[in-house]
Amino acid sequence: MEIHAHTVPTGHIVTAMAITNASGVALQALAGLAHSALQEATRSDLHYLSQFSIN
């Protein structure tokens, strides 16, 4: 599975992951990864991530 989002509001990235993944367990794992990535992002990056990929 591969998800790519370029210059997309982070909330939309999480929504796209939710739509893309039918498995609730996979969805929870991806949501956790997205949350961790957002916590590590700088303040300006919290609004827009230039690239966000899960392989």
Per-residue tens of pLDDT for the chain, all 55 residues: 565 555 555 555 666 666 665 566 676 777 777 777 767 665 455 455 555 555 4
Tokens of 13: 């990235």
Domain range list for the chain: 3-54
Whose tokens are 């969805």? That residue is 27
Res 46: pLDDT: 45
Q: Largest alpha-carbon pair distance within the chain?
A: 32
Total-model pTM:
0.29
